[in-house]
Structure 1
């Protein structure tokens, strides 16, 4: 009985039904394509925004690093000036140590400098390593001077090597700052 009813349905109704089914399939396919295109566009937009945020963050960190290197360089120079007075015999070592304790060098965050270079400034590693090497040279000179000072020997023998090392350090800091500037501009 159910099959006979389907036979009684006019052919035009079947064509209409087929048209509705075909139209529904086309609509579903069109919506699917539109959704896929919108999803792809949204993913591209999010990727672009993430790239912009990442670039902005890198630039901010490099700007911060530039300032930290300026403070670090000034701290090195201030330390050298105080130590040179000890080398000349104008102040004693205790006075020098008091000045070091009170100096703004204590405010330089050396770990932050290293962290920013490690994370955001891979291209700065070599210049930073050069500064650390010169800093070690200066530390060796200061250690030799302290040893001589404690044994009562004159410190003026250390003025020239300390001065040359300080100039070398200042140039290395300037070189690093220039590299930071270039990296920040290219970001």
Structure 2
């Protein structure tokens, strides 16, 4: 009987040790798989975020480019009116014609900058500030034109100077967008 107890104890001990080793093996395998999945998920998330930022950056660049092209087209008409090449009414007709074909979602520019690219906010604000200063000259010319002062040459120099500053700031903004997209 003692021999059967020894055999039973040996069998139970072997089964217990084998089961414990199997449990430790399963635990270590699961822990390794979980760590691998975490690394894989983090990598996949990083790739998806980079793709999202790249896509949003490209969209932002396209929107800014379209906005600036439309803005400078508008300013070309205003400069022609100031130079006397166009009447004010002809200029307005051109603006209406261009406005119908040049619609854009320019509010999205600000949203994309605020959400995805806050590092370029300073360049964007600079462009807005210079646009406002340039528009001031357009407004002053309009008021003078409404008073019957059709010679806009007095407004042309400050208007052109502001527009050149605006163009330089616009190029810096576009370069900043490109730098942000490349950094992704």
TM-score for both structures, normalised by structure 1: 0.90
Partner of 2:31: 36
Q: Does 1:180 align with 2:177?
A: yes
Range moving further from structure 2, 149-158 or 62-71:
62-71
Q: Does 1:15 align with 2:15?
A: no
Deviations 1:44-69 (A, max 9, x none): 10111011110111011112212222
SS in 1 for 2:85: coil
Unaligned runs of 5+ in 1: none
SS in 2 for 1:10: helix
Pairwise mapping of residues 70-109 of structure 1 onto structure 2 (< 5 A)? 70-103=65-98, 106-109=102-105
Partner of 1:25: 20
Q: 1:113 aligns with which of 109, 112, 116?
A: 109
Partner of 1:136: 132
Cα distance, 1:94 vs structure 2: 2.3
SS in 2 for 1:152: coil
Determine the C-alpha separation between the residues in 2 that align with 1:114 and 1:89: 35
Cα distance, 1:8 vs structure 2: 8.4
Range moving further from structure 2, 83-92 or 168-177:
83-92
Q: 2:161 aligns with which of 160, 164, 168?
A: 164
TM-score for both structures, normalised by structure 2: 0.92
Determine the C-alpha separation between the residues in 2 that align with 1:183 and 1:173: 15
Cα distance, 1:91 vs structure 2: 2.0
Determine the C-alpha separation between the residues in 2 that align with 1:165 and 1:76: 13
Q: How many residues align?
A: 182
Range moving further from structure 2, 105-114 or 54-63:
105-114
Report the RMSD for the aligned CA atoms in angstroms: 1.8
Cα distance, 1:10 vs structure 2: 2.2
Runs of 4+ in 1 over 3 A off after TM superposition: none
